[in-house]
């Protein structure tokens, strides 16, 4: 039982009343009257608090089955009142590692109704976490006391990679596949899609003369053109670095988590395009290897296998990872390495590994830049020595990265360098563009 603000106001009013009565009745009488009033008020508070227990609200919590790291995950609380109006304050014992939109929820619920309350939690790391009980305060009908109690709803929750982002990407890819946002173009791809009537201005090289000749026999003289689309059932291999560089935090998430989100999104895009998708996670050795498969069921396997993996403070062996990969995959495929680099000297092994892939495979180097470095490099300084030095360092880091990327491009390596929090969308768009252009 917790006193309310109204109770404190009444007690303070009693003190003021005692001072007033002391002028007319004397101090002893005023003290006696004040004490009597306080006893009455406190007694009413106890009664008010005890009366709540007979009509306490009922509360249930609803959580997503799997929480997404780095996203605002909604939590729903359903508050059901009894046969009286209820004013409640609710504190949910969410994991302390989570950020939360609001720590205490307040609501006024009409009698015999159910009201839904919502707040969001923002996990910044993956894994299992303990969720505690629900703490409730319900105000008595006289407004003198709060009844304070707990509803036992402890449970263990799991935080996965960004599944919310995967659902959004899945909708986008479905729309594209069904033709809502997709236009087939002549000459793009190598796989036959359909024959259709020739349109004025189209390239005559794509007319199917044999099909047109057969059609002339039916009396229809309109030429037919071949529509090609990107080849399906190719192979996409993703190598995700979990070494020292991937342990740094960028925008409240470890760089590895950004890379893992990008890996799963790219895998989803590949599976939607009919490719066989495989994933390897490496540091000094190949920590996990999931052979390439096709089909949407493969995504669930990737999520289950990759979710428990955490980055480690070890220097990554790029040459070892590439050597291991070459043993596993002999046919030409798109090889995407998701990592980060510092400069040409520190990343010499990465450059050598990617160069080794270039003649036989199509290597694609994806690096996750810290947007804070971009902001520091773009922020003008006004004579402050420390700020000027910081900006100079940021500019030098960006210049070193560009030099390393230039060397990779000279060796035939595809490159994508983007802020970590933007890497997923840019990587998926780049992959879809590669498929559309049939570069593999």
Q: What is the residue-level pLDDT of the chain in tens, covering all 440 positions?
A: 788 888 888 878 777 766 676 666 666 766 777 777 778 888 888 888 898 888 899 999 999 999 999 999 999 999 999 888 899 999 999 999 999 999 999 999 998 899 999 999 999 999 999 999 999 999 998 888 999 999 999 999 999 999 999 999 999 988 877 653 444 444 455 555 677 787 777 777 777 777 777 777 676 777 877 776 555 568 999 999 999 999 999 999 999 999 999 999 999 999 998 899 999 999 999 999 999 999 889 999 999 999 999 999 999 999 999 998 888 888 889 999 999 987 777 788 888 898 888 888 999 999 999 999 888 888 877 767 788 888 888 888 888 888 888 888 888 899 999 999 999 999 999 999 988 777 76
Report the C-alpha gap between 220 and 158 in whole angstroms: 63
- Residues 41, 72, single domain; the answer is no
The tokens 């002893």 sit on which residue?
A: 28
Tally of domains in the chain:
4
264 and 362 co-located in one domain? yes
Looking at the fold, whether 237 and 303 belong to one and the same domain comes out as yes
Residues 367 and 268 in one domain: yes
Residues 197 and 260 in one domain: no
269 and 413 share a domain?
A: yes
Do 96 and 215 share a structural domain?
Answer: no
pLDDT of amino acid 116: 93
Two tokens, residue 263: 């890996």
Question: Which structural domain range is residue 361 located in?
Answer: 163-172+233-437
CA distances from 74 to 26, 61, 100, 101, 191 (A): 61, 11, 10, 10, 43
| 347 and 432 assigned to the same domain | yes
Residue 182 covered by a domain: no
Q: Kindly give the pairing relationship between strand 224-229 and strand 253-254.
A: unpaired
208 plus 152 within the same structural domain: no
In a domain, 268, yes or no: yes
Last-in-domain residue among 201, 229, 257: 229
Residues 80, 318: Cα–Cα separation, whole Å: 58
Question: Is 178 part of any domain?
Answer: no
Instruction: Mark whether 142 and 241 lie in a shared domain.
Output: no
Contact, 168 vs 265, CB < 8 A?
no
Q: What strand order describes the sheet that includes 114-122?
A: 58-62, 73-80, 114-122, 99-100
> Residues in the chain, how many?
440
């Amino acid at each position: 039982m917790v006193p309310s603000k109204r109770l404190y106001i009444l007690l303070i009013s009693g003190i003021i009343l005692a001072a007033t009565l002391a002028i007319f009745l004397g101090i002893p009488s005023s003290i006696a009257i004040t004490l009597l009033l306080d006893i009455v008020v406190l007694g009413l508070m106890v009664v008010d608090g005890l009366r709540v227990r007979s009509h306490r609200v009922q509360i249930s919590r609803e959580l997503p089955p799997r929480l997404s790291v780095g996203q605002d995950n909604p939590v729903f609380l359903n508050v059901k009142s009894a046969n009286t109006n209820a004013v409640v304050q609710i504190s949910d014992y969410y994991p302390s590692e989570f950020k939360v939109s609001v720590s205490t929820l307040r609501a006024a619920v009409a009698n015999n109704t159910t009201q839904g309350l919502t707040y969001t939690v923002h996990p910044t790391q993956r894994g299992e976490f303990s969720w505690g009980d629900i703490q409730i305060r319900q105000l008595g009908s006289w407004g003198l006391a709060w009844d304070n109690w707990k509803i036992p709803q402890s449970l263990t929750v799991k935080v996965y990679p960004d599944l919310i982002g995967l659902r959004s990407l899945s909708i986008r890819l479905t729309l594209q596949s069904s033709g809502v946002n997709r236009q087939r173009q002549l000459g793009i791809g190598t796989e036959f899609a359909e024959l259709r009537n020739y349109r004025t201005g189209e390239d005559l090289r794509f007319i199917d003369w044999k099909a047109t000749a057969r059609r002339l026999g039916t009396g229809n003289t309109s030429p037919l053109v071949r529509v090609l689309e990107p080849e399906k059932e190719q192979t996409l291999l993703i190598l995700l670095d979990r070494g020292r560089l991937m342990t740094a935090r960028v925008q409240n998430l470890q760089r590895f988590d950004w890379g893992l989100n990008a890996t799963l999104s790219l895998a989803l895009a590949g599976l939607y395009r009919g490719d066989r998708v495989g994933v390897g996670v490496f540091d000094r050795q190949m920590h996990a290897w999931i052979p390439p498969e096709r089909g949407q069921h493969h995504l669930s396997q990737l999520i289950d296998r990759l979710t428990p993996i955490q980055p480690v403070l070890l220097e990554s062996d790029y040459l070892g990872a590439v050597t291991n990969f070459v043993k596993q995959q002999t046919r030409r495929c798109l090889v995407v390495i998701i990592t980060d680099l510092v400069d040409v000297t520190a990343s010499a092994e990465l450059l050598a590994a990617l160069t080794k892939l270039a003649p036989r495979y199509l290597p694609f180097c994806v690096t996750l830049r810290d947007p804070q470095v971009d902001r520091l490099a773009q922020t003008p300084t006004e004579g402050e020595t420390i700020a000027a030095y910081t900006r100079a360092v940021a500019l030098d880091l960006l210049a070193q990265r560009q030099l390393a990327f230039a060397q990779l491009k000279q060796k035939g390596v595809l490159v994508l360098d983007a802020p970590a929090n933007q890497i997923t969308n840019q990587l998926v768009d780049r992959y879809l563009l590669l498929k559309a252009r049939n570069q593999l």
